[in-house]
Amino acid sequence: MTSAEPQRQIPPKSWKHLGLVKSVKEAIYSLPSYFRTETSIEGINATDIFTFNTALGATIENQVIQTLNQMRSVWDPDEEYVLYSFVRQSQKFPDVLLKRPLGAEGSGEDIIMGIELKGWYLLAKEGEPSFRFQVTPAACGLQDLIVVVPWVLNNVISGSPRMLSPYIESARYAAEYRNYHWENVRDAKGRRGIKQPSGVGPYPARSDRIADTPESDAGGNFGRYARTGLMDDYLERTRTELLCGIQAEHWLQFFKVFQDQKDTTHVKGEIDRLKKRLLASGQIAEKRISPILAILDQLDSLASE
């Protein structure tokens, strides 16, 4: 059982790609400024608002990879890695590899780093990323990352996906801390031990067993990354993002009315109350109130359907 809290590690200073990894992180942080998509959503039902993560999650993640490859001038300004690109691998850890094609001429590693990439629809019902991260630490290279990309629609209930500031963490540290939290931090009864597979290394084959397994997990919560506490500060900041002038957390609370209440009169009453609060608060500039009210009018119409 792990007793000491793990510490973040980085590749040795002698590793020649250290500068590249730093540049890749900077590129990921700047993704919202570069991200463009032709995807557009119109005419959805109010009760379907929470389902976007399932419906569009993979599409958003693929578009993130495309954007990173289009940002080569950011992470490879001197064109030292012209043979390398970010490539997605389906149902295999990690989701994305920075690699060169097999059989490419020249010396160098075929794979430089990996990224476990997770898209997160900010207004999803759970209010936090729901993915499970169960990979054993030994399967993560010191340079590998776990990246969560939050997104919303630019008109809240319609329009094109808009990306917000991403979350980045060392994949090795994330896996080690997940185990530390499970064994030492969480409030739980019963066995806390974790079984780890042997003979595992970075960039495993699809058939390799790479998942850590808890000795006892009646609730099926092992690997729920957002519950480790590592994302708490980030999640708190992200929920304050303004979406058409209203903080994301308030939109989320409001949308739950559609999920929890089937009575149309109650839903329309909540819409009217929100309109009145906006008009009376004086906290939103007058030029911003009109588009917000237009969105609420759309919700009012959807509630009647």
Q: Are residues 235 and 273 in the same domain?
A: no
Q: Check residue 47 and give its pLDDT.
A: 62
Closest CA to 298 of 234, 253, 244, 220: 244
Q: Check residue 1 and give its pLDDT.
A: 55
The total of other beta-carbon atoms located within 10 Å of residue 287's CB is: 8
Q: Are residues 174 and 265 in the same domain?
A: no
Query: Does 255 map to a domain?
Result: no
Query: Does 139 map to a domain?
Result: yes
Q: Check residue 85 and give its pLDDT.
A: 96
Cα separation, 273 vs 278, whole angstroms = 9
Q: Are residues 31 and 152 in the same domain?
A: yes
Domain hosting 284: range is 261-304
Q: Check residue 102 and give its pLDDT.
A: 73
Query: Does 63 map to a domain?
Result: yes
Q: Are residues 98 and 61 in the same domain?
A: yes
Query: Does 162 map to a domain?
Result: yes
Q: Are residues 280 and 216 in the same domain?
A: no
Q: Check residue 290 and give its pLDDT.
A: 67
For 77-117, what is each residue's pLDDT tens digit? 999 999 999 999 988 999 999 999 876 655 557 999 999 99
Q: Check residue 51 and give its pLDDT.
A: 75
Q: Are residues 224 and 270 in the same domain?
A: no
Q: Are residues 96 and 223 in the same domain?
A: yes
Residues of the chain with pLDDT under 50: none
pTM listed for this prediction: 0.85
For the chain, list the strands marked E by DSSP.
85-88, 96-99, 111-121, 145-153, 161-163, 167-170, 194-195, 213-214, 242-243, 246-247
Total domains in the chain come to 2
Query: Does 13 map to a domain?
Result: no
